[in-house]
Protein backbone atom coordinates (compact mmCIF):
# COMPACT_ATOMS: atom_id res chain seq x y z
CA UNK A 1 0.00 0.00 0.00
CA UNK A 2 1.20 3.48 -0.87
CA UNK A 3 -0.07 5.34 2.19
CA UNK A 4 1.58 8.76 2.57
CA UNK A 5 4.15 8.16 -0.17
CA UNK A 6 4.12 11.33 -2.25
CA UNK A 7 7.29 11.01 -4.33
CA UNK A 8 7.15 9.65 -7.87
CA UNK A 9 10.47 7.91 -8.40
CA UNK A 10 10.58 8.16 -12.21
CA UNK A 11 13.05 5.26 -12.34
CA UNK A 12 15.95 7.34 -11.03
CA UNK A 13 17.99 7.78 -7.89
CA UNK A 14 17.00 10.63 -5.63
CA UNK A 15 19.91 12.86 -6.70
CA UNK A 16 19.27 12.24 -10.40
CA UNK A 17 15.56 12.89 -9.93
CA UNK A 18 16.18 16.15 -8.05
CA UNK A 19 18.62 17.35 -10.72
CA UNK A 20 16.23 16.42 -13.52
CA UNK A 21 13.33 18.24 -11.90
CA UNK A 22 15.50 21.31 -11.22
CA UNK A 23 16.53 21.36 -14.88
CA UNK A 24 12.94 20.89 -16.02
CA UNK A 25 11.67 23.72 -13.83
CA UNK A 26 14.62 25.86 -14.95
CA UNK A 27 13.59 25.30 -18.56
CA UNK A 28 10.02 26.19 -17.63
CA UNK A 29 11.21 29.48 -16.11
CA UNK A 30 13.47 30.24 -19.08
CA UNK A 31 11.07 29.32 -21.92
CA UNK A 32 7.63 29.76 -20.23
CA UNK A 33 6.51 26.30 -21.42
CA UNK A 34 8.09 22.84 -21.62
CA UNK A 35 7.14 19.74 -23.63
CA UNK A 36 7.81 16.61 -21.59
CA UNK A 37 6.17 13.37 -20.50
CA UNK A 38 3.03 13.46 -18.38
CA UNK A 39 4.71 11.80 -15.39
CA UNK A 40 7.63 14.27 -15.41
CA UNK A 41 5.23 17.19 -15.75
CA UNK A 42 3.21 15.94 -12.77
CA UNK A 43 6.42 15.56 -10.75
CA UNK A 44 7.73 19.01 -11.74
CA UNK A 45 4.51 20.87 -11.02
CA UNK A 46 4.86 20.97 -7.19
CA UNK A 47 8.51 22.05 -7.49
CA UNK A 48 7.59 24.92 -9.82
CA UNK A 49 4.69 26.05 -7.66
CA UNK A 50 6.80 26.06 -4.49
CA UNK A 51 9.40 28.19 -6.26
CA UNK A 52 6.73 30.69 -7.32
CA UNK A 53 5.58 30.85 -3.72
CA UNK A 54 9.17 31.64 -2.67
CA UNK A 55 9.29 34.30 -5.37
CA UNK A 56 6.11 35.89 -4.08
CA UNK A 57 7.58 36.14 -0.59
CA UNK A 58 10.68 37.76 -2.04
CA UNK A 59 13.10 38.00 0.89
CA UNK A 60 16.81 37.26 0.70
CA UNK A 61 16.29 33.99 2.56
CA UNK A 62 13.66 32.86 0.04
CA UNK A 63 15.94 33.88 -2.84
CA UNK A 64 18.74 31.73 -1.39
CA UNK A 65 16.36 28.80 -1.00
CA UNK A 66 15.36 29.16 -4.67
CA UNK A 67 19.02 29.26 -5.74
CA UNK A 68 19.69 26.06 -3.83
CA UNK A 69 16.75 24.40 -5.58
CA UNK A 70 17.46 25.66 -9.13
CA UNK A 71 21.29 25.96 -9.09
CA UNK A 72 21.18 28.99 -11.45
CA UNK A 73 21.03 32.53 -10.11
CA UNK A 74 19.94 34.12 -13.42
CA UNK A 75 16.84 31.91 -13.44
CA UNK A 76 16.11 32.89 -9.84
CA UNK A 77 16.36 36.55 -10.85
CA UNK A 78 13.82 36.00 -13.66
CA UNK A 79 11.57 34.05 -11.29
CA UNK A 80 11.57 36.80 -8.66
CA UNK A 81 11.45 39.76 -11.09
CA UNK A 82 9.10 38.59 -13.85
CA UNK A 83 7.21 35.40 -13.07
CA UNK A 84 6.25 35.70 -9.38
CA UNK A 85 4.75 39.23 -9.74
CA UNK A 86 2.30 37.85 -12.32
CA UNK A 87 0.78 35.62 -9.63
CA UNK A 88 0.58 38.15 -6.77
CA UNK A 89 -3.23 37.90 -6.61
CA UNK A 90 -3.42 34.14 -7.13
CA UNK A 91 -3.39 31.78 -4.15
CA UNK A 92 -2.05 28.75 -6.01
CA UNK A 93 -2.34 26.77 -9.22
CA UNK A 94 0.38 28.58 -11.14
CA UNK A 95 0.96 25.88 -13.77
CA UNK A 96 -1.18 23.83 -16.13
CA UNK A 97 -0.57 20.50 -17.82
CA UNK A 98 -1.98 20.02 -21.31
CA UNK A 99 -1.83 16.50 -22.72
CA UNK A 100 -0.44 16.34 -26.25
CA UNK A 101 -0.73 12.71 -27.30
CA UNK A 102 1.94 10.05 -27.58
CA UNK A 103 5.59 10.15 -28.58
CA UNK A 104 6.34 8.40 -31.86
CA UNK A 105 9.39 6.42 -30.71
CA UNK A 106 8.22 4.78 -27.49
CA UNK A 107 4.54 5.81 -27.23
CA UNK A 108 5.17 7.73 -24.01
CA UNK A 109 2.31 10.13 -23.19
CA UNK A 110 3.46 13.72 -23.76
CA UNK A 111 2.31 16.89 -22.04
CA UNK A 112 2.91 20.62 -22.16
CA UNK A 113 3.76 22.18 -18.80
CA UNK A 114 3.22 25.94 -18.84
CA UNK A 115 2.41 28.90 -16.62
CA UNK A 116 -1.27 29.75 -16.28
CA UNK A 117 -0.61 33.47 -16.74
CA UNK A 118 1.70 34.14 -19.68
CA UNK A 119 2.84 37.52 -20.97
CA UNK A 120 1.18 38.78 -24.12
CA UNK A 121 3.38 38.50 -27.19
CA UNK A 122 4.67 41.78 -28.52
CA UNK A 123 3.33 41.93 -32.07
CA UNK A 124 4.36 45.53 -32.77
CA UNK A 125 8.05 44.85 -32.26
CA UNK A 126 7.94 42.01 -34.78
CA UNK A 127 6.21 44.22 -37.36
CA UNK A 128 8.63 47.08 -36.72
CA UNK A 129 11.63 44.81 -37.09
CA UNK A 130 10.22 43.38 -40.33
CA UNK A 131 9.63 46.90 -41.66
CA UNK A 132 13.08 47.92 -40.50
CA UNK A 133 14.67 44.98 -42.33
CA UNK A 134 12.73 45.77 -45.51
CA UNK A 135 13.69 49.43 -45.28
CA UNK A 136 17.32 48.57 -44.60
CA UNK A 137 17.44 46.28 -47.63
CA UNK A 138 15.92 49.01 -49.83
CA UNK A 139 18.44 51.53 -48.47
CA UNK A 140 21.27 49.10 -49.11
CA UNK A 141 20.15 48.64 -52.70
CA UNK A 142 19.84 52.39 -53.19
CA UNK A 143 23.27 53.08 -51.70
CA UNK A 144 25.18 50.58 -53.81
CA UNK A 145 27.80 52.40 -55.85
CA UNK A 146 27.44 52.14 -59.57
CA UNK A 147 29.88 49.82 -61.28
CA UNK A 148 32.57 51.68 -63.18
CA UNK A 149 32.21 51.49 -66.92
CA UNK A 150 34.56 49.07 -68.59
CA UNK A 151 37.29 50.69 -70.54
CA UNK A 152 37.46 49.65 -74.16
CA UNK A 153 40.44 47.45 -74.79
CA UNK A 154 42.26 48.26 -77.97
CA UNK A 155 44.82 45.96 -79.39
Report the alpha-carbon distance of residue 66 to residue 34 in Å, rounded.
Answer: 20
Mean residue pLDDT of the chain comes to 87
Domain coordinates in residue numbering, the chain: 14-118
Does domain 14-118 fall into CATH 3.90.1030.10? Answer: yes
Q: Within 13 A of 116's CA, how many CA atoms are on the CB side?
A: 16
Are 18 and 29 spatial neighbours (Cβ–Cβ below 8 Å)? Answer: no
Please report, for the chain, how many H helices and E strands are present, in that order.
Answer: 6, 3
pLDDT at res. 2: 82
pLDDT, tens digit, for every residue of 40-89? 999 999 999 999 999 999 999 999 999 999 999 999 999 999 999 999 99
pLDDT at res. 122: 73
Banded model confidence at residue 118, pLDDT cuts 50, 70, 90: confident
pLDDT at res. 134: 63
Amino acid sequence: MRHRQNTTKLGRTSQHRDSMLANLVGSLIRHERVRTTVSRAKAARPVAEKLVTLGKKGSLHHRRQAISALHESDLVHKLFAEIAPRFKDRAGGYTRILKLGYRHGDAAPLALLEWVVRPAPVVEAVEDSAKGKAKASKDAKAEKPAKPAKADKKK
